Chains A and B, each alone.
Chain A
């Protein structure tokens, strides 16, 4: 019997497991294959909802499902915390068990790490956990005017478009309420342009100028002073705020670090095409946990999941691997309530987003619902492309 073990039942891990379960259904039923997903949480969270909760566009009940209900019945689910991954002995240790594998998929994600910036957690709000998204909802609802600062305090972080989308949504939200003129919107970003990809950054800058969102670039946050409501940069500037929405720096899961599987930044060195953990043909890494030079985005995890599940299926059935990851990512950028554009790019081709439009916004909202019934179910891995 071949054992496929997936560590992390978030977006990437769930798609890999479900897609393999569809393709290997007969072998699973006959007991020739075993697929196990391990996650410390029994709940699966659709994290893109965190950005929309503060504006009342999505709600808690649309963001969470029991992981067991999402996984195919033939998949074993263990709600256990993984403490050690021993890739030399093909052994994964959890709180309560030792699990052996023939194929291991690491999909342990990334988490906010507030400790990297003094004052960060107390000084502002963020939308990187469900609880914080609701606190932010209350704060923006009560905000009566003054300077609203949206800042990125460390790169890389989950969903590179989310902070600027927050700024656009805030502009739109307060405009609709008729109070936009009471609010100064300020966007602080570490690079000399408001987004990593230069041609997209140009369009974003223009939109921000049009919407009177001030950009302070090359602003690398050093510390936040919650009492004085000030943000200080490594470059020596200080900015005052009345309300701050701060994207925290991120780090990989502790288990991959303590297992010696990461680089010094905490990410898993991963072959950019095969998605093997470098040096191990029986171990794959996907999604936010990797050091791949692509966005930490669910769509990237989805495209990668398609490659890994296909190549594991090939191996089990005696075929050579038939897919390579080409760096593909798909991201929406919400540019207002009711308006969005879309970025589709890969290692070789930068994105060329269409002008913001209603159709993209509508598709994004529909996709948020489709995530549960199509994407996470592994029915259309890599969006079928």
Chain B
């Protein structure tokens, strides 16, 4: 993951529980432009499982997960 930080839209959903982070991601993807990278910060373990599934179904690109202390940074690119 070597995207320039300024191009990444960050959603800080730490402290929000399933399905909060996924719902916030979907809302943000809807409002974004094709090519935008969205990074969800989530402390809910379920996000790592649900977000890739949603990304695949919705036809966007799952870019990966960075594990931080107490939360994960999950990146997605809007592709359509």
Interface residues of A (CB under 8 A from B): 155, 190-192, 196, 198, 218, 220, 222, 234-236, 293
Known interface pairs A190-B23, A235-B59. Does A218 touch B16 (Cβ–Cβ under 8 Å)? no
Residue in B19, B49, B50, B58 whose beta carbon sits within 8 Å of that of A236 in the complex: B58
**Bound state CA distance, A293 and B53, in angstroms?**
22
Which residues of the other chain, A, contact B16 by a CB distance below 8 angstroms? 293
Any chain A CB within 8 A of the CB of B22?
yes
Query: By the criterion CB–CB under 8 Å, are A196 and B18 in contact?
Result: yes
Which residues of the other chain, B, contact A234 by a CB distance below 8 angstroms? 26, 29-30, 58
B36 to chain A, nearest CB (A): 15
DSSP class of B's interface residues: helix, strand, loop or mixed?
helix
For the complex of A and B, the 6 pairs showing the least CB-CB separation, nearest first, are: A293-B17, A235-B58, A218-B57, A192-B53, A235-B57, A155-B23
Which residues of the other chain, B, contact A155 by a CB distance below 8 angstroms? 19, 23
DSSP class of A's interface residues: helix, strand, loop or mixed?
loop
Query: By the criterion CB–CB under 8 Å, are B23 and A192 in contact?
Result: no
- For window 1-56 of B, CB contacts with A under 8 Å fall at 16-20, 22-23, 26, 29-30, 46, 49-50, 53-54
**Bound state CA distance, A293 and B22, in angstroms?**
14
The 24 sampled A-B contact pairs (Cβ below 8 Å) are A155-B19, A190-B22, A190-B23, A190-B26, A191-B22, A192-B49, A192-B54, A196-B19, A198-B46, A218-B53, A218-B57, A220-B26, A222-B30, A234-B26, A234-B29, A234-B30, A234-B58, A235-B58, A235-B59, A236-B58, A236-B59, A236-B80, A293-B17, A293-B20
Which residues of the other chain, B, contact A222 by a CB distance below 8 angstroms? 30
**Bound state CA distance, A229 and B33, in angstroms?**
29
Query: By the criterion CB–CB under 8 Å, are B58 and A191 in contact?
Result: no
Count residues of chain B with CB under 8 A from any CB of chain A: 19
Residue of B nearest to A347 (CB): B17
Query: By the criterion CB–CB under 8 Å, are A192 and B59 in contact?
Result: no
Which residues of the other chain, A, contact B22 by a CB distance below 8 angstroms? 190-191
Interface residues of B (CB under 8 A from A): 16-20, 22-23, 26, 29-30, 46, 49-50, 53-54, 57-59, 80
A217 to chain B, nearest CB (A): 8
Which residues of the other chain, A, contact B18 by a CB distance below 8 angstroms? 196
A117 to chain B, nearest CB (A): 12
Query: By the criterion CB–CB under 8 Å, are B58 and A192 in contact?
Result: no
Query: By the criterion CB–CB under 8 Å, are A218 and B19 in contact?
Result: no
Residue of B nearest to A218 (CB): B57
A188 to chain B, nearest CB (A): 13
Residue of B nearest to A236 (CB): B59
Query: By the criterion CB–CB under 8 Å, are B19 and A191 in contact?
Result: yes
Which residues of the other chain, A, contact B58 by a CB distance below 8 angstroms? 218, 234-236
B58 to chain A, nearest CB (A): 4
**Bound state CA distance, A364 and B30, in angstroms?**
40
